[in-house]
Amino acid sequence: MDLATLEIFLAVAGDRSVTKAAKAIGRVPSNVTTRIQQLEQDLGVALFSRDGKKMTLTGEGETFLAYANRLTALALEARQAVRPLTPSGNLCLGTMESTAASRLPAPLTQFNRMWPDVSVRLTMGVSPELTRSVLAGELDCALIARPPQAVLAEQQSFSDDLQKLQSELIFVEELIVLLPPGHPDIKSASDLRVGSLAALEPGCTYRRVAEFWARKSSAVKTMEVGSYHAILASVATGQAAGVMPKSVLELMHWLGNARMHDLGPVETFLVSRRGDRASALDAFHDVLVATRGKAPHLPPG
């Protein structure tokens, strides 16, 4: 067992998918599968139960997760002890609301514990706005969603801005369309039996991806709402479907049968200005990478 294996385990535990975890940590899926199998053989227990492509932690896996988190945290502290950073001042971090809710609690908690003298200022926004704020020097860095290439091609200014920044893939989100209770499964937007698609503001990357998917169905119109809870409420009325990352749905209380349609992966990148690596940003990057497999494992509710 080594730290690389623990990183792989945490990534799969966080994303619940070998394919998404492999993409997030820059490995091929076959290598991830092999390393997980070797870890299970070494421990003599099954850490995951397999249901198609979905990887769910077993009871033994949940127990091992706590130790893996502690070991990677200790490794991070050990690196700091022998190669000390001296982060200070402020860190202006931009993030999407969904990422703040489902992905940032663990790294921000760890960062604050290790470097309490750094003041972190969070700014919420949509990806194009956050990207422009990083370029303008208003933010040190931001976690933004980069849409699939077909969608990005229609956002030339956003695409141009991204090319000017240093970026690193951190998370891979599974974007879904949540269907109302009782709605039958769908294969395309034309199968929707509701006339509205509840989504956030126009600059939201997830909204752009969903609208790109729904454009072949003229009967489906976008209904703009102000939060993911409002999306959930709109779906509960039975009058709309809703678009959100699956990781966000897993944090929310949903009484209905969570029938959904998969829109595919959307990548989350950490972006910063090229050559601009202040000590606080370096420290946050290290914590973010070390803890990126630690998405909250909470049942809906």
Residue entry with tokens 């969070």: 122
**Angstrom distance (rounded) from CA 276 to CA 192:** 47
Is beta strand 260-273 parallel, antiparallel or unpaired with respect to 141-146? antiparallel
pLDDT value at residue 72? 78
**Which pTM was predicted?**
0.77
> What residues form DSSP beta bridges with 49?
56
The pLDDT tens digits for 128-164 are 999 999 999 999 999 999 998 889 888 899 999 999 9
- Asked if 205 and 279 count as a contact pair (C-beta separation under 8 A), the reply is no
**pLDDT grade for 293, boundaries at 50, 70 and 90:** low
Phi/psi zone of residue 211: left (φ > 0), alpha (ψ -120 to 50 degrees), beta? alpha
Q: Among candidates 42, 39, 20, 38, which has minimal Cα distance to 29?
A: 20
Rounded average pLDDT over 293-300: 42
For residue 297, the model assigns a pLDDT of: 41
**Helix residue ranges per DSSP H, the chain:** 3-15, 18-25, 29-43, 59-82, 97-102, 105-114, 127-135, 149-152, 156-163, 205-214, 228-236, 246-249, 279-291
Pairing, β 260-273 against β 165-178:
antiparallel
In terms of pLDDT, which residue wins out, 234 or 252? Answer: 234
Contact 134/123 with Cβ under 8 angstroms? Answer: no
The pLDDT tens digits for 25-70 are: 778 889 889 989 999 999 999 999 887 778 888 989 888 888 887 8
Look at 89-93, 147-151, 246-250, 273-277 and tell me which has the smallest mean pLDDT.
273-277
Question: What are the structure tokens assigned to 255, written together?
Answer: 């009484």
CA angle 53, 7, 282 (to 5 degrees): 125
Q: What is the pLDDT of residue 298?
A: 37
List all residues 6 or more positions away from 190 whose beta carbon is below 8 Å from its beta carbon. 216, 217, 219
pLDDT digits (tens, 9 = 90+) for 180-228: 988 999 999 999 999 999 999 999 999 999 999 998 777 889 999 999 9
Which pLDDT value is given to residue 137? 93
Task: Indicate if the pLDDT at residue 295 is higher than 80.
Answer: no
| Domains defined for the chain, CATH in brackets | 3-82 (1.10.10.10), 90-169+267-291 (3.40.190.10), 173-266 (3.40.190.10)
Q: Which of 82-86, 94-98, 186-190 is least confident? A: 82-86
- pLDDT-derived band at 98, boundaries 50, 70, 90: very high
Q: What are phi and psi of 31, to 5 degrees?
A: -65, -40
**What angle separates helix 3-15 from helix 29-43, to the nearest 10 degrees?**
110
Hey, CA dihedral for 210, 211, 215, 220, is it positive or negative?
A: positive
Q: What angle do CA 57, 60, 63 make, to 5 degrees?
A: 90
Picking from 64-68, 175-179, 273-277, which range would have the lowest pLDDT averaged per residue? 273-277
